[in-house]
Amino acid sequence: MIIDYDKRTVGIKIVFFGPAMSGKTTTIKWLFHEMDLIEELTSIENSAGRTMFMDFGIIPFRMGDDWTINAHVWSATGQDFYKSTRDVILVGADGIIFVADAQMHLQDENVESWYELAETALEADESLPIAIFLNKTDLPNIVNETQLRMVLEVDESIPVFIGIASHGKNVLEIFQWMFQKAVKTAVT
Ligand SMILES: Nc1nc2c(ncn2[C@@H]2O[C@H](COP(=O)(O)OP(=O)(O)O)[C@@H](O)[C@H]2O)c(=O)[nH]1
Ligand SMILES: [Mg+2]
């Protein structure tokens, strides 16, 4: 969390993490679109529409008359050869939304990405808020919440939101949950 007394802003950092193609950029774009902030979002993509390096944007929330909490939203690309950029993007995170792909045949990818996250961010800070977005639940042959929890070995202390990023299902809900949790954790 970064506090700027001159500008009366508090900055918190929320990182979207997960395997390549699980829907991080789609989720973030839907969120910024919904909040009328799509022009504020920077997505660095290659010519095939895949994320290179990251997506980044700020969502401001007015608090009372003069303070603003700025949610700095980041995503890191999931592709293997960008691991070093993912480590950098995780630094200083106040909350992490893990975007898992619900398709049955992609569970190894979820596990690999989850362990990478566990080894870096979660090991460094056990109190870091984390929530899981189980995405693409509009598709056939998918895992349900119980199956995902088994695959990732995650208990009820971490919430799972069942989502469809392309329709915005549960996108605002998981973001609001994370925003509140991240602010609360950062100030205590
Ligand atoms: N059917 C379906 N497709 C999705 C959903 N979310 C994302 N996608 C598609 O999955 C692909 C990868 O999404 P993208 O957001 O680029 O993934 P990222 O690599 O995690 O940023 C794109 O073709 C999206 O349109 C979803 O909820 N349902
Ligand atoms: Mg992306």
Residues flanking ligand 1, CB < 6 Å: 18, 20-26, 51, 78, 99, 135-136, 138-139, 164-166
Pick the CATH number of 2-187 from 3.40.50.300, 3.30.1490.20, 2.30.22.10, 3.30.420.40: 3.40.50.300
What is the reported pLDDT for 59? Answer: 96
Local confidence band at 155 (pLDDT 50, 70, 90 cut-offs): very high
- Ligand 1, atom 11: nearest CA belongs to which residue? 21
Local confidence band at 11 (pLDDT 50, 70, 90 cut-offs): very high
Query: Which SS3 state, helix, strand or coil, does residue 140 take?
Result: coil
Average pLDDT over every residue of 157-175? 98
Q: 3-class secondary structure for 105-119?
A: HHHHHHHHHHHHHHH
What is the reported pLDDT for 48? Answer: 67
Global pTM value: 0.94
Give the pair of three-digit tokens for residue 59: 């969502």
Average pLDDT over every residue of 46-52? 66
pLDDT of 82 above 80: no
How is 8-58 classified by DSSP, letter by letter?
TEEEEEEEEE-STTSSHHHHHHHHHHHTT-GGG-EEEE-TTS-EEEEEEEE
